[in-house]
Amino acid sequence: MSALIEGSWDQARKIASQSFSALPSELIDVSHGVDRTLATDAHALCDLPTYATSAMDGYAVAGTGPWTIVGEVKAGLPMKGELADATAVGIATGGVIPAGTFGVIRWEIAKVSGNILKGDVVENHDIRPAAHECKSGDLLVKAGAVLNPGKIGLLSAAGLDHVSVTRKPRVALVLLGDEIQLEGVPSEGLIRDALGPQLPGWLEKMGCEIVATQYISDEISRVVKALSDACALVDIVITTGGTAQGPRDFLHDALIQIDAEILVDTVAVRPGHPMLLARTRTTAIFGLPGNPQSAIVALMSLGAPVIASMLGQSQQDLPTVITRRELTAPTGFTRLVIGNIVDAQFEVGQYLGSAMLRGLAHSTGFAVVTKELTAAGESVRWLWLP
């Protein structure tokens, strides 16, 4: 495959989405599945409800009344045998309906005198029938779905103790630059690192696991060794800076030395133009620009489709939203504009510069602008931040 050089944003995302396969699966306890991606279809192992149960506290009755109360059914303690005609048992919500039951009389409308019960009843009233929600063997959650607490509750109720999920992509961060200061107020021409602290959070939200972080000065030998070591360890290597063609930008040369194949080399997008995607035999490499907003644009543009592929998730078309104000893009470029959806419309954020952080900190996504002029009231695609 020849590298896409200065290609369109949509072309670059398509290459990113099609160049990597799903990682192996692992079996985990279903209760630990929040935000994990299901690797195989999950089917019910039993009917839901498994038994016919009472929807209310009240009395299960057999035949016509008045009825003699002969006992009580508590949740988790089903009655043995069949309920005889003209008899009733008290029953709790969720209690198993005895065989022979005609219906349930709610506690608040039942008329009880001693052990005699009177009241109106409708056949099968306030009874949750067995298998009303699903039958054993029904498909409950498809492979590729991200598990949430509701899905976990459903699978647990249907008898599953364990689920097969795709292994999280392991990520190593290689942060390049001689000008980075790691703590305190920056001085003497240095700048405080803003990507090292935030990239793990974005990546974890996207379903990854950070296993290594290292800061490397802009020396070709150090960059080559860092990339080589990281590629032997993880599924994804992410670099920051060094993606352009300046005198201290060594990423391209380093990729050649480790025999990496460059898939995407710069993209016609603002911000984030000098983004890069490469791969070795086992590892994806994202080259993010050094400016913070540009770096996150690159991560969402190329990283998100790759991560979704590795997790076995389907690639989703971006939703659209109406813009409140006019938006522009440079000729031949896609522009990603930071902002928020307010009252179902896109509202441009503040501090839009590629090196600025305040806009990113207070926004929920990007409007994807492909026309040189998009008028207020027109629709644009919307790229959510994780």
Q: Tell me the per-residue pLDDT of 68-84, one tens digit each, with 9 for 90 and over.
A: 999 999 888 899 999 99
Q: What does the pLDDT look like over 180-230, one tens digit per residue?
A: 767 788 787 877 888 889 999 999 999 999 999 999 887 889 999 999 999
Average pLDDT over residues 17-40: 97
Distance of alpha carbon 200 from alpha carbon 35, whole angstroms = 16
Q: Confidence band (pLDDT; 50, 70, 90) for 246?
A: low
Distance of alpha carbon 94 from alpha carbon 217, whole angstroms = 65
pLDDT of residue 241: 81
Count CB atoms within 10 A of the CB of residue 174: 25
Can you give the pTM of this predicted structure?
Answer: 0.89
pLDDT of residue 99: 95
pLDDT of residue 245: 67
- CATH class, domain 53-128, is mainly beta
Domain with CATH 2.40.340.10 in the chain: 320-384
Q: Confidence band (pLDDT; 50, 70, 90) for 91?
A: very high
pLDDT of residue 181: 67
Residue 253 has pLDDT above 60, yes or no: yes
Residue 136 has pLDDT above 70, yes or no: yes
Residue 247 has pLDDT above 80, yes or no: no
Domain with CATH 2.170.190.11 in the chain: 53-128
pLDDT of residue 244: 67
Distance of alpha carbon 303 from alpha carbon 308, whole angstroms = 9
Distance of alpha carbon 381 from alpha carbon 75, whole angstroms = 51
Residue 344 has pLDDT above 70, yes or no: yes
Contact, 279 vs 214, CB < 8 A? no
Q: How is 38-93 classified by DSSP, letter by letter?
A: BSS-EE-SS-BSSS-EESSSEEEE-SSSSEEEEEEEBTTBPPSSBPPTTEEEEE-T
pLDDT of residue 190: 77
Written as one letter, the residue type at 176 is: L
Average pLDDT over residues 123-137: 95
In the 3-class helix/strand/coil scheme, how is 151-167 assigned residue by residue? Answer: HHHHHHHCCCCEEEEEC
207: tokens are 């379903």
Written as one letter, the residue type at 346 is: F
The radius of gyration of the chain's CA atoms, rounded to the nearest angstrom, is: 30
Give the lowest-confidence range in 103-117, 159-173, 179-193. 179-193
225: tokens are 């060794």
**Residue 333 vs residues 1, 8, 107, 272: alpha-carbon distances, Å:** 24, 7, 69, 11
25-47+132-166 CATH pick, 3.40.50.150, 3.40.50.11720, 3.90.105.10, 3.30.450.20: 3.90.105.10
CATH architecture of the domain formed by 4-23+168-310 = 3-Layer(aba) Sandwich (3.40)
Residue whose tokens read 């200065």:
6
Give the lowest-confidence range in 9-13, 207-211, 247-251, 367-371. 247-251
Residue 13 has pLDDT above 80, yes or no: yes
Domain 320-384 sits in CATH at 2.40.340.10
Domain with CATH 3.90.105.10 in the chain: 25-47+132-166
Q: For the chain, what percent of residues have pLDDT higher than 90? A: 82
Average pLDDT over residues 148-157: 97
Domain with CATH 3.40.980.10 in the chain: 4-23+168-310
pLDDT of residue 75: 82
Distance of alpha carbon 310 from alpha carbon 92, whole angstroms = 48
Q: Confidence band (pLDDT; 50, 70, 90) for 235?
A: very high
